[in-house]
Structure 1
Amino acid sequence: MKIATLGEIGLHYRIDGNPDGAPVVFANSLGTDLRLWDQVIPLLPKGLKYIRYDKRGHGLSSCPPAPYSMGALITDAERLLDHLGVRDCVFVGLSIGGMIAQGLAAKRLDLVRALVLSNTGAKIGTKDMWEDRVATLRKGGIAALSDAILERWFSEGFRQTDAFLGWENMLLRQPLEGYIGCSQAISGTDFYTPTAALTLPALGIAGSVDGSTPPDLVRETIDLIKGSDFRLIKGAGHLPCVEKPEEYAAILTDFLTAQGHV
């Protein structure tokens, strides 16, 4: 268990692979912790350094009172990479992790040489939608929204499997204040202009049955970056790295190889 003390925040992180290898950094979605990538990382090329972390308010990281800003989440990632001496990483962000990825690349291009924007958008939802969700969360906790969240996360078939229970429990056990804080950060974020100004290799990944960030939203976002590519994983919801880890890892491997990162 590794904790990086970064000002007032302690971030839980994990490093797999070759400690001297080229870095690949993973940022996970709202309501999950760094175990989101458990099935994918063992399938990726050997010799690379794989870094993942729990953003503030999630997993084993610090959970300050809400609200959070997207700027604070980006600064957390920036400070973690500086703390670890990381430069020129490939940054893989899913959902809110993809928003953090966009903001970090716009702020610190020395840290990020290529982006993978998975199941995300330059803007996700509307302010009113997020305010309604936060009000429901304050009243009834994550359980009040869990059924709807899980329907967006996973295909109907996956929701019938034994593995589904573990992800349901992960969601329900995230700190409520952290979930609310990150929801408020998403609510206030619109990255269309800064993302359109990015000039680096980028890949978009979408799940065909994603109810949170549908394929058209992911494609619209990745198309803002000139020369980017887009891949669709059929039959997967918002977390294709869970439902289709082999296909997800193959797509990532192709991208890492194309960038000369392997």
Structure 2
Amino acid sequence: MSQTNDQFIATQGGNLRVRVEGPQDAPALVFSNSLGTTLEMWDAQAAKFSKDFRVVRYDTRGHGGSVVSPGAYSFDLLGNDVVAILDALKIERAHFCGISMGGFTGLWLGLNAASRMNRIAVCNSAAKIGTPDGWNMRSAMVREKGVAAMKELADSSPSRWFTEAFIAAQPAVVQRAQAWIAAVNPQGYAGCCDALAGADVRDQIAKIALPTLIIAGSADPVTTVADGEFMQQHIPGAKLAAVPASHLSNLEAPQAFDDALSQFLRA
């Protein structure tokens, strides 16, 4: 029997908004959103993969309908949120696919909760994203300027997230993505920036023993193909797929993204 619903799952410090779709007895597949987006970024993937998987997607803490807990976040917190979701849904093991910030959550799970994972797909991400100074500056700006800062980030996000050709060809998709980031709670966004500021597992990822897929956008200026190659070289047996897209590759190149993910999950 298939089910589609939004539910709120209790975690440390508050509830997370979770949506579950697909057959209840199918293998579980968790999707984790990027910084500044919501679980709706996975609409196309959920429609496709929920035919064969029990698709679980959620708004990362601080985003969408999930709790905005105060203070700085960490990937220990964000990763344990995923474990709490699995526990609440009585899912022993799941596949995991995360993009950008969600991809780093996948690395954390591979290192800290491998017994709960089958395979991890780390998309448009890196073992260290950006610089601590850059994230700390963004976090401080968003805390200080609030909603106005989120509007500024929304205005500038297309050039970070999509290629110029895609921006010109698909304005509705771009505007929808801008609306997600504009609506994110500034305190929640800042908390996730703090998590990213402290996130560096370059010297740890060789310990990941799970089957791992890395998806990189060939035109991604944020997390580059070189970042993907570094992870592939250091995670034993990892596979790398480059797709013709910028940073939100599941939105810009859904066919190539879905093909790479599907092939990996069925291997």
CA distance in 1, matches of 2:12, 2:249: 34
CA distance in 2, matches of 1:239, 1:248: 10
Whether the 8 Å CA contact 1:120–1:217 is kept in 2: the answer is: yes
2:179 is aligned with 1:181: no
Which digits, 9 at most, give the CA deviation of each residue in 1:166-195, with x for residues without a partner? Answer: 111111111111111001100001112332
Residue 7 of structure 2 corresponds to which residue in structure 1? 2
Give the counterpart of 1:37 among 36, 39, 42.
42
Which digits, 9 at most, give the CA deviation of each residue in 1:3-44, with x for residues without a partner? Answer: 001242201101111111011111110000001110122223
2:180 is aligned with 1:170: yes
Give the counterpart of 1:141 among 142, 149, 163.
149
- Offset, 1:123: 0.7
* Residues 6-21 of structure 1 mapped to structure 2, 5 A cutoff: 6-21=11-26
* Residues 26-105 of structure 1 mapped to structure 2, 5 A cutoff: 26-44=31-49, 46-105=51-110
- Offset, 1:110: 1.5
**Residue 219 of structure 1 aligns to a residue in which SS?**
helix
Whether the 8 Å CA contact 1:105–1:111 is kept in 2: the answer is: no
Residue 158 of structure 1 corresponds to which residue in structure 2? 166
Moved more, 237-246 or 40-49: 40-49
User: What amino acid is aligned across from residue 150 of structure 2 in structure 1?
Assistant: I
**Residue 192 of structure 1 aligns to a residue in which SS?**
coil
Residue 254 of structure 1 corresponds to which residue in structure 2? 263
Instruction: From the two aligned structures, give the one with the greater helix fraction.
Output: 2
- Offset, 1:45: 6.8
Which digits, 9 at most, give the CA deviation of each residue in 1:40-75, with x for residues without a partner? Answer: 222237231111111110010000123111211111
Give the counterpart of 2:241 among 231, 238, 251.
231
Which digits, 9 at most, give the CA deviation of each residue in 1:129-149, with x for residues without a partner? Answer: 112222332334222333433
Which digits, 9 at most, give the CA deviation of each residue in 1:148-171, with x for residues without a partner? Answer: 332111111222222211111111
User: What amino acid is aligned across from residue 6 of structure 1 in structure 2?
Assistant: T
**Residue 38 of structure 1 aligns to a residue in which SS?**
helix
**Residue 252 of structure 1 aligns to a residue in which SS?**
helix
Q: Which runs of 4+ in 1 moved over 4 A?
A: none
Residue 216 of structure 2 corresponds to which residue in structure 1? 206
CA distance in 1, matches of 2:179, 2:112: 35
What's the % identity of the aligned pairs?
A: 32
**Residue 10 of structure 1 aligns to a residue in which SS?**
strand
Whether the 8 Å CA contact 2:140–2:190 is kept in 1: the answer is: no
Whether the 8 Å CA contact 1:136–1:145 is kept in 2: the answer is: no
CA distance in 2, matches of 1:134, 1:186: 10
TM-score computed with the length of structure 2 as normaliser: 0.92
CA distance in 2, matches of 1:23, 1:80: 12
TM-score computed with the length of structure 1 as normaliser: 0.93
**Residue 266 of structure 2 aligns to a residue in which SS?**
helix
Taking only aligned residues, the RMSD between alpha carbons, in angstroms, comes to 1.4
- Offset, 1:99: 1.1
Give the counterpart of 1:241 among 241, 244, 250.
250
Unaligned runs of 5+ in 2: 1-5
Whether the 8 Å CA contact 2:72–2:195 is kept in 1: the answer is: yes
